[in-house]
Amino acid sequence: MILAPHVPAGTGRGRPIIYPRRDVADAIRYLDRTGCQWDALPAHFPHHKLVYH
């Protein structure tokens, strides 16, 4: 993946990762491509607040 070197690896501390980072990146790409609002993300993407963060 092209973005892999730019995404920090988990440190093992903190909250465990629930959604794969790929799903979050795909949601951001979807928002950019379609121009939809954050809260109008389709259900198969992670929650919009998680993607926004």
Domain that holds residue 25: 18-52
pLDDT value for 32: 93
Overall average pLDDT of the 2-24 stretch: 79
- The answer to the question of residue 29 being in a domain is yes
Closest CA to 38 of 13, 47, 15, 16: 47
Please enumerate in sequence order all residues whose Cβ is within 8 A of that of 41, keeping only pairs 6 or more positions apart, or say none. Answer: 27, 30, 31, 48, 51
In a domain, residue 11? The reply is no
Q: Is 40 contained in some domain? A: yes
Kindly provide the b/e burial profile for residues 28-50, where b requires at least 16 CB atoms within 10 angstroms of the residue's own CB.
Answer: eebbeeeeeeeeebeeebeebee
Does some domain include residue 12? Answer: no
Q: Is the pLDDT of residue 47 over 70?
A: yes
pLDDT band (50, 70, 90) for residue 44: very high
Number of domains within the chain: 1
Q: Does residue 8 sit within a domain?
A: no
Is the model more confident about 12 or about 18? Answer: 18
pTM comes to: 0.71
Is residue 5 assigned to a domain? no
Is 7 contained in some domain?
Answer: no
> Per-residue pLDDT for 1 more than 70?
no
